[in-house]
Amino acid sequence: QKEVEQNSGPLSVPEGAIASLNCTYSDRGSQSFFWYRQYSGKSPELIMFIYSNGDKEDGRFTAQLNKASQYVSLLIRDSQPSDSATYLCALKTSYDKVIFGPGTSLSVIP
Amino acid sequence: KAGVTQTPRYLIKTRGQQVTLSCSPISGHRSVSWYQQTPGQGLQFLFEYFSETQRNKGNFPGRFSGRQFSNSRSEMNVSTLELGDSALYLCASSYAGTSGSRETQYFGPGTRLLVL
């Protein structure tokens, strides 16, 4: 099993819909979880981080963490065409390594 | 406030050579992290420096090394370049890094290295 897994996509959602991006991980002791957005040809940008079980909301973004099930998700409400990008899940493992998932490509259709 | 800057932006080297890349963080930021991004392997963490000390290291061979200066500027060096080292090298800065306070991280534009 890979350390961090994401559906590669592309995930297509209509404008205004909720986009749901999922990430599963293998190290049960992982403590810190991050979501990055990367536009084509650009550098990544950190959009969310979450440390505790439950939901964390920031504007249209909600990160959800379930350590027992070893998954973290990112919900984007009222999706806009400008949200079209690759979303990378990352975490810091129990042995203090930073691991990135392969990314999910999101396309928001006007 | 100026963003993270990286130099050079593009670089072409041949196998066996060595290369040094530079990263200047946002003013006041003390943490600099380095990443390698390739189409095949995706984004991979290289190392993190905080106040001139390496705080974390990824799974890369010893040919990859780095350092941080007292002004927080950081350099990474790759010796004995291999074809597989061709990649986009990104650095990111933050005030306290990913260990510690929960604050954001800013990436530079990257250095694209091509090894022939």
pLDDT of residue A31: 86
Are the beta carbons of B108 and A44 separated by less than 8 Å? no
A100 touches chain B (CB under 8 A): yes
When pLDDT is cut at 50, 70 and 90, the band that residue B97 belongs to is low
Least confident of A67-81, B45-59, B60-74, B90-104: B90-104
Mean per-residue pLDDT, B5-14: 97
pLDDT of residue B46: 95
**DSSP E strand stretches across A1-110:** 4-6, 11-14, 19-25, 32-38, 45-50, 54-58, 61-66, 71-76, 85-92, 98-100, 104-109
Q: Is 70 exceeded by the pLDDT of residue B103?
A: no
* CB-based contacts of B62-69 (< 8 A; 24+ apart in sequence): B66/B34, B68/B32
* Nearest residue of B to residue A44, measured between CA atoms: B107
Contacts of residue A21, defined as CB under 8 A and 6 or more positions apart, other chains included, come to A6, A7, A11, A35, A73, A74, A75, A76, A87, A89, A104, A106
pLDDT of residue B101: 45
Residues of chain A with C-beta less than 8 angstroms from the C-beta of B42: 88, 100-103
Mean per-residue pLDDT, A73-85: 97
Contact A5, A25 (CB under 8 A): yes
Q: Is 90 exceeded by the pLDDT of residue A19?
A: yes
Interface residue of B43, B48, B102 to substitute, partner A, most A CBs within 10 Å: B43
pLDDT of residue A1: 64
Contacts of residue A38, defined as CB under 8 A and 6 or more positions apart, other chains included, come to A44, A45, A85, A86, A87, A88, A103
Residues of chain B with C-beta less than 8 angstroms from the C-beta of A97: 45, 56, 58-59
Q: Amino acid letter at A23? A: C
- Shortest CA distance to B30 belongs to which of B80, B63, B89, B73? B73
B25 touches chain A (CB under 8 A): no
Contacts of residue A68, defined as CB under 8 A and 6 or more positions apart, other chains included, come to A53
Mean per-residue pLDDT, A67-86: 96
Q: Is 60 exceeded by the pLDDT of residue B102?
A: no
Q: B32-68, pLDDT tens digit by residue?
A: 999 999 998 999 999 999 999 998 899 999 999 999 9
- Chains A, B: CB pairs < 8 Å: 43
Interface residue of B37, B48, B98, B111 to substitute, partner A, most A CBs within 10 Å: B98
pLDDT of residue A97: 81
Mean per-residue pLDDT, B89-114: 81
